[in-house]
Structure 1
Amino acid sequence: MKNIYLLGVLLLLTSISLAQQATIKGIILDENNTPIPGVNISFSSTKGTQSNTNGFYQLTIPANKKITIHYSYVGFKKVSLNLALTNKETYEFNPILKTDIEQIGQVILTGSRNKEVQGITNINPEVIRKIPGANAGVENLLKTLPGVSSNNELSTQYNVRGGNFDENLVYVNEIEVYRPFLIRSGQQEGLSFVNANMVRNVDFSAGGFQAKYGDKLSSVLAIDYRRPVDFAAQLEASLLGGSATIEGTSKNKKLAGILGVRYRDNSLFVNAKETETNFKPRFADAQTYITYQVSDKFELGFLGNIALNKYDYEPVTRKTNFGTLQNPKSLFIYYEGQEKDQYETYFGALKASYKISDNYTAKVIASVYNTQEQEYYDILGEYLLSDNVNTDIGGDGLGDAEYYTGVGSQLSHARNDLDALIANIEHKGSYALQQHQFDYGVKYTHENIKDRIREYEVIDSAGFSIRPLLPDYHNNQPYEAYNAPLEPYHSVRAKNNTNINRLQAYLQWSYKTQLDHHDLWLNAGVRSHTWAITGDNIPDGKTQTVISPRAQIALKPAWKTDMLFRLSGGLYYQPPFYRELRDVNGLVQPNLKAQQSIHFVAGNDYSFKLSDRPFKLTSEIYYKKLNDVNPYTVENVRIRYTAANIAKAYAYGLDMRLYGEFVPGTESWLSLGVLKTEENHLDKGYIARPTDQRLKVGLMFQDYVPKIPSLKVYLNLVYNTGLPGGSPSYADPYDYQTRLRDYRRADIGFSYDIVDSERQDKTFPKNHWLSIFKHLSIGMEIFNIFDNQNSITNTFVRDVYNKQMYSVPNYLSPRVFNVRLSMRF
């Protein structure tokens, strides 16, 4: 009998162990993100599977056991994955097979080594979706990276290593995307083009990028939307809006599509600011990415986006205290009037990929972008300025003005309309020959911009109209009568119908070899860009061409210490876009030259383990020498160019980032950026550029409660030293070199997982109402935890009595609370 019991126990344990199974699935891609059919996937000599015609695979493996899975295909290096999954756990792994680099990893592997060689930072999409921010998404996380800065939490725009917002390239699935033209402030932006819930991969380069990328001076953000492998849906809701994403495939897996819809309302932030307003923002968009596998070698993809943004703004009052404790000042403004803005953008792109052979892939990409924008406002602000403010900390009237020393008003008017149509068609190809790879591309672009500008500003102080700050005007009111006709302080009237035709081409070569057992990577390429500008009431511009050579070299020594050294550089150009061509009077200058930058970057990656957890320290030093610079001023997020190549500039700095598992199982990082950038107008001497952000510290941190792992915390912290405070219209920037206060911001988020299909203790039986969810979580966010008063620009106010100009800071949002609900099906 005892033996029978023993046998029963053994059979029971065997059956339990056999039932302990997990699943791994995904899509296998090559270096061009093309699915690879027929890849062998195995974890023993007898057990395995193959990817289907769409590159999709699914494999059942033993659970609670360390398994090594091998991915192999003729002509590609083998990929190995070591992992241990829990019972019934499903793990998605999308390896990228390469002809030149072997990948071996512990948890998840992509083409990470290849990206390190190129100086590209890869960001985990899951981190993007979790980290809190006033504008949560890809750009929110970019601002924690070294060399990337933005002093406006309501904007998705960012500066990289001293460049401005217009110097950044953005690609989605190799398709260049654009943003609206007329937006003046971050609170008008609403939504970024990039939908974070659709993202599969994010790559970012802060400089020294390859020739295959376009002609900009600062950075490249390359995003891949995911190709679904199964049906899924996701819903998110918060006090800032909501989003819905649905994805799926056909039965034969040839057709796959993902659709995302978003809505955002910024009133939570704007209503908490110092200006009392009646504010009605409506930002919404719908985006889709669809692919169809016509054959094993031919795939079609479509990317579409529609964004409808309306911004209604009716300010009532504003009170701002500024200055110092020893010399406090106060500005109080009563408003009349309103602003009505509308931005409608439509974008569609078709991409065809054909694998001609195992070594050669060709692609054709065609896209059309249309934006229809209007900016209408009539706002009268009547202000009271005081330099005698109550500083009695214990008193009831702390911060109130004792009496007013300046009285005035300012009337702003605009009737601006813009309609832009941008069409592109591009052919690119990639050919691999042993350890060599050749990439090429040819692209034609046609841009048509219809722009009507009608805006003016009238400034009045104590009944006297203040004239523009121009040499021809000599105003000594009220002591001497001024008999000239009244004119606005600032006025622009123009109507432009501009056509720009561009032809771009590139060719680059990549090679991997060994040098005394050290791995050596080489890349060299060249771009050409030719453009011509014509239009109504615009003198024909001459055809211009620039040539941009670029090169990279990387060395991985055969040391026990895991180190990688990089050196890259080249001659970078930025041929002018429409906004750069338009001068302060609204006129297009067709013969404006491309801005030029000689760029050098030296970098090092040091990988190590600390407390048996992986870490990496990346360091880069850079230098940029800029010629034919087109100076500009920044008002919030609106950039106004002089449309003249009248300056030269430089930028240099150091970027460092330490990232890894500060807390086991999570990814966090600490970044440091040091920068100096200055420009010289007409040999008058060097002054700080508008983006001269001397020091930047960023922290992105994830943690969880050890005894309650479902309770997680996410911290996003940024510190930037103050930017130059700008200058009033028509003023000489050499006379205004004061700086804004330092930018300090900390956002924190908490989330609790109610359902998590990847954890056995967070799943529910089929008859339970929560079983319909794959993931369900609730969360709370606190933006600007310490309620810091950060400013983005200055409002310049002057009065007739003392003929002084006061720079009054425009403060950003204070501490704000938000709640979130997220679910996946």
Structure 2
Amino acid sequence: MRRSLLTITFLAFSFAIWAQQACIQGIVLDSLNVPLQGATISVPSLSKGTSAEKDGTFLLCLEPGNYQLEISFVGYKAVQKPVSLAAGDSLVIQATLNEDKTLLAQVTVVGKRELGPPRAGEFRVSSKELANFPAATADISRILATLPGVVASNELSSSYSVRGGNFDENLVYVNDIPVYRPFLVRAGQQEGLGFVNLDMVSGITFSSGGWQSKYGDKLSSVLNVGYKNPVEQAGSVNLGLLGGSAHVEGVSKNDRVNYTAGVRYKNSRYLLNTISVKGQYLPRFADFQSLVSIKLGKQTEAHKQKISILASYAQNRYFTKPESQEVEFGTFGRSFRMVAAFDGKEVLDYDIYQTGVKWSNTWDDKFNLDVIASGVYTAEREYFEVEGAYRLCDVNNNPASDQFKDCVVILGVGSNYHYGRNKLQATLLNTESRFSARWNDLQLTEAGIGARKERIEDVLNEYIFQDSSGYASTTDRVWAENLVDGYHVTAYLQHTVFSRDSIHILNAGVRTAYWTVNGQMLVSPRMQYVFTPTWSRKIAFKAAGGVYQQPPFYREMRNRQGVINRDLKAQVSYHALAGMDYSFRMNGRDFVFFSEAYVKYLDRLVPYDIDNVRLRYFGDNLARGWAYGVDFRVNGEFIPGTESWFSLGLLRTIEDIEGDTLGFIRRPSDQRVTLGIFFQDYLPNDPSVRIYVSALYGSGLPFSAPNNPAYRNFFKGDEYYRVDVGFTKVFSKKNDGKIFGGLKSIWLTAEILNLLGAENTISYTWVKDVFNQQFAVPNSLSARFLNVKLSGRF
């Protein structure tokens, strides 16, 4: 009884003391809206403070009074905020810190965040640049395409490849939760909305090689997307000729719940009317996403916990009835024309449900435990039955002739009949625990263990019947029913060491994986190093290397006949890269020059061919290869107050397929030269009128003639080039005034997509003439298009 009375007295006394205090809650971000984990929030006069958590949030409780709050982060300019607190107050603030270029050389660690420049192969992009990007689709891949080493030569698709890899070799996370693409899509126009909703993004981190052990098992890249953790109410509405979107974000009155949610709708019908195949296009794509974060229990400096719930549903419907196609191709000396008529239709339906839950715990700002569970379910159906009849002829190229541009000789006639009835259902369940410990300011240890259950059921029934100038055949006959059911188990351990003088950062770790289907155990060591000398010039040298192994996924396991190879082994890539970041000032503005060289040795490769965005694998570990090159990028304020960049990538990737006697040949992703530009400007006398330019160039990719292994990847495709321009007028009021209906600003945008009218080729249709010679007829992407958008922000 006496002990109980003492306990009650102590609790009452503690509550009374707590009630007399006031608390400050908030979030610390950098200029890219990326949370600054480990930022220091202090009151110098009291010698008291705390540090920001992984998501940038913090909690600091003080006695009532007037204070000068200082928020700082090594490498960034500190911010002072005066605060006035009364007993029981709960003040919410948001602080944005700008990078201090003069301190770039002074790299250290505070809390659990590794400071200094991005690691080798790493880039960061803010939500501000994402929102302003002119593109046919509001997809993150269009932004990535302007970064060095990234190839995305199809404006209708969200797929991209990195440094000689393919579309299936990229990891994508949203708030540490893995997300996935659909399986059956074979053409860019069939794709719906990419998973990432740009309205909800706070910033992205992209690694094109040499990433740490804590990230998963792919060969080419990691994209880590951070969704917003709002501290105030906001939202947006966007309407355009190609679709629309809306989102809301905010925080509850008791500051315990943060939320952001968005809906999107895409209808590319008008854009698809500009491609070479004419017909009736009825694409309809829509999705809904939400992220809700809830603080659990009492938030104290000793223990903080919260739960985040990510939910997404995507409904995708694609229907088309192709009618006709007329394509002229060849050289200046000899031109050909193919005219085709079609009968039939294509239908692709798929619904994807993705969800994830993340439970986060932090103790004393030193130890952190995240438990993540997520799941994906997709049901996809692909029906097509299309017959096409074509006529191929020689075209008169003589401008002085009365028959100029007329067909003068019929080279061949024929028909193709494409039939398919394909269905797929997939369920992927993931669970993972991640732990980190900051032992002191110089030592950081991270570890994790996870498991994934995958079940994929697939029914394939498709074939092609060709009748070309008297030669008839049935090709690509596939009939199969497949089931892949297995478990992946993964684990990682890594340690980061920071030198006391803040010049060196070394990260080393190992990742293991085991898959029950093929019984293969994988061990992948990795290492990163950053050296920032204290020179007068602000330079950071970076290097990374390691083993990256990709366990087979369903697409790699299935060969062209639809047969599953359950003994397929993991593909492996040995990364080695080194580079530097050089920060400088020009005309009083900040710039960064990035350069990096890399080499990757590839083993146990599964060869593949590309048809539009469909990868057709050989289904066996038949090849080895190399990928090497250099990447350059310069970014900064070319125009005061804006961020622009120019990127250049030089690449060579080759492979040697076992038993083909060809030796090393170009891989399907061997795009030797890529150039990406994103540029912003505004009228000097009226900054509310803004201009955004996106430009891409890629040298020709190799391609093959069908059923002719001796000429695999022998032919060179056309170059890809595209310029998209956006013109925006912003109507807004200052001092947080409203225009009308609660709107803070209205954005009226006109975009000229494919400004130069480039006829970019995405794939080739092969036809024969009367002499049984084959001709590659190019299939073009979208032509010039004017898009108009109206946006409101509140």
> Which TM bucket (shorter chain)?
0.7 to 0.9
- 1:374-389 counterparts in 2 under 5 A? 374-386=381-393, 388-389=394-395
Q: Which amino acid aligns with 2:495?
A: W
* Change in 2 beyond 3 A, CA 1:326/1:412: same
Q: Alpha-carbon deviation of 1:610?
A: 0.5
- 1:378-777 counterparts in 2 under 5 A? 378-386=385-393, 388-393=394-399, 399-434=405-440, 435-466=442-473, 488-514=474-500, 519-533=503-517, 542-682=518-658, 684=661, 685-728=663-706, 730-732=707-709, 734-755=711-732, 759=734, 764=737, 770=740, 772-777=742-747
Alignment correspondent of 1:485: none
Q: Which amino acid aligns with 2:70?
A: H
Query: Conserved in 2, the CA contact under 8 Å of 1:726 and 1:793?
Result: no
1:500 counterpart SS class: strand
Alignment correspondent of 1:14: none
2:129 counterpart SS class: helix
1:153 counterpart SS class: coil
Query: Conserved in 1, the CA contact under 8 Å of 2:457 and 2:484?
Result: yes
Alignment correspondent of 1:81: 78
Q: Distance in 1 between matches of 2:42 and 2:400?
A: 74
Alignment correspondent of 1:11: none
Query: Conserved in 1, the CA contact under 8 Å of 2:117 and 2:540?
Result: no
Q: Which amino acid aligns with 2:584?
A: F
Alignment correspondent of 2:28: 28
1:28 counterpart SS class: strand
Q: Distance in 2 between matches of 1:222 and 1:397?
A: 58
Q: Distance in 1 between matches of 2:651 and 2:384?
A: 38
Give TM-score, length-normalised by structure 1.
Answer: 0.84
Query: Conserved in 2, the CA contact under 8 Å of 1:430 and 1:439?
Result: yes
Query: Conserved in 1, the CA contact under 8 Å of 2:370 and 2:435?
Result: yes
Q: Which amino acid aligns with 2:529?
A: I
* Change in 2 beyond 3 A, CA 1:605/1:38: closer
Q: Please, which of 239, 245, 261 is the counterpart of residue 243 of structure 1? A: 245
Does residue 298 of the first structure (1) align with residue 305 of the second (2)?
yes
Q: Please, which of 108, 112, 126 is the counterpart of residue 128 of structure 2? A: 126
- 1:203-222 counterparts in 2 under 5 A? 203-222=205-224
Q: Alpha-carbon deviation of 1:403?
A: 3.9
Q: Which amino acid aligns with 2:357?
A: L
Q: Distance in 2 between matches of 1:50 and 1:572?
A: 38
Q: Please, which of 318, 321, 325 is the counterpart of residue 318 of structure 1? A: 325
Alignment correspondent of 2:763: 793
Q: Which amino acid aligns with 2:751?
A: E
Q: Please, which of 350, 356, 360 is the counterpart of residue 363 of structure 2? A: 356
Query: Conserved in 2, the CA contact under 8 Å of 1:551 and 1:569?
Result: yes
2:565 counterpart SS class: coil
Q: Alpha-carbon deviation of 1:777?
A: 1.0
* Change in 2 beyond 3 A, CA 1:375/1:241: same
Deviation digits for residues 318-372 of structure 1 (CA, Å, limit 9, x no counterpart): 0000001211011111100001110100011111001134311101100110010
- 1:333-344 counterparts in 2 under 5 A? 333-344=340-351
Deviation digits for residues 58-105 of structure 1 (CA, Å, limit 9, x no counterpart): 9xxxxxxxxx97316xxx869643699xxxxx99535699xxx99999
State the percentage of identical aligned residues. Answer: 38
Query: Conserved in 2, the CA contact under 8 Å of 1:157 and 1:637?
Result: yes
Q: Which amino acid aligns with 1:531?
A: W
Deviation digits for residues 479-502 of structure 1 (CA, Å, limit 9, x no counterpart): xxxxxxxxx222000001210210
Q: Distance in 2 between matches of 1:552 and 1:380?
A: 55
Q: Alpha-carbon deviation of 1:46?
A: 10
Q: Alpha-carbon deviation of 1:725?
A: 2.4
Q: Distance in 1 between matches of 2:429 and 2:323?
A: 42
1:489 counterpart SS class: strand
* Change in 2 beyond 3 A, CA 1:680/1:581: same
Q: Which amino acid aligns with 1:665?
A: G
1:576 counterpart SS class: coil
Q: Distance in 2 between matches of 1:335 and 1:548?
A: 51
Query: Conserved in 1, the CA contact under 8 Å of 2:696 and 2:721?
Result: yes
* Change in 2 beyond 3 A, CA 1:461/1:561: same
Q: Alpha-carbon deviation of 1:726?
A: 3.3
Q: Structure 1: which 5+ runs fail to align? A: 1-23, 59-67, 85-89, 467-487, 534-541
* Change in 2 beyond 3 A, CA 1:48/1:396: farther
Q: Alpha-carbon deviation of 1:135?
A: 2.1
Alignment correspondent of 2:5: none
* Change in 2 beyond 3 A, CA 1:273/1:239: same
Deviation digits for residues 697-741 of structure 1 (CA, Å, limit 9, x no counterpart): 11110000001110000000011100012332x331635511111
Deviation digits for residues 187-207 of structure 1 (CA, Å, limit 9, x no counterpart): 111211000000012000000
Q: Alpha-carbon deviation of 1:137?
A: 3.1
* Change in 2 beyond 3 A, CA 1:94/1:288: farther
Query: Conserved in 2, the CA contact under 8 Å of 1:423 and 1:446?
Result: yes
Query: Conserved in 2, the CA contact under 8 Å of 1:300 and 1:351?
Result: yes
2:556 counterpart SS class: helix
2:118 counterpart SS class: helix
Q: Please, which of 286, 289, 307 is the counterpart of residue 287 of structure 1? A: 289
Alignment correspondent of 1:195: 197
Q: Which amino acid aligns with 2:198?
A: A
Query: Conserved in 2, the CA contact under 8 Å of 1:71 and 1:78?
Result: no
Q: Alpha-carbon deviation of 1:131?
A: 1.1
1:404 counterpart SS class: strand
2:142 counterpart SS class: helix
Query: Conserved in 2, the CA contact under 8 Å of 1:56 and 1:229?
Result: no
Higher mean displacement: 650-659 or 391-400: 391-400
Q: Distance in 1 between matches of 2:403 and 2:26?
A: 65
Q: Distance in 2 between matches of 1:506 and 1:148?
A: 27
The CA RMSD over aligned residues, in Å, is 3.0
Alignment correspondent of 1:537: none
Alignment correspondent of 1:10: none
Q: Alpha-carbon deviation of 1:393?
A: 4.9
Q: Distance in 2 between matches of 1:440 and 1:733?
A: 48
Q: Which amino acid aligns with 1:527?
A: R
Query: Conserved in 1, the CA contact under 8 Å of 2:595 and 2:630?
Result: yes
Give TM-score, length-normalised by structure 2.
Answer: 0.88
1:687 counterpart SS class: strand
Query: Conserved in 1, the CA contact under 8 Å of 2:704 and 2:712?
Result: no
Alignment correspondent of 1:65: none
Q: Structure 2: which 5+ runs fail to align? A: 1-23, 61-67, 82-91
Q: Which amino acid aligns with 1:345?
A: I
1:117 counterpart SS class: coil
Q: Which amino acid aligns with 1:623?
A: V
2:759 counterpart SS class: coil
Q: Which amino acid aligns with 2:511?
A: R
Deviation digits for residues 570-623 of structure 1 (CA, Å, limit 9, x no counterpart): 111111111111111111101101111111010100000001100000100000
Q: Distance in 1 between matches of 2:80 and 2:773?
A: 69
Q: Distance in 2 between matches of 1:35 and 1:794?
A: 48
* Change in 2 beyond 3 A, CA 1:77/1:128: closer
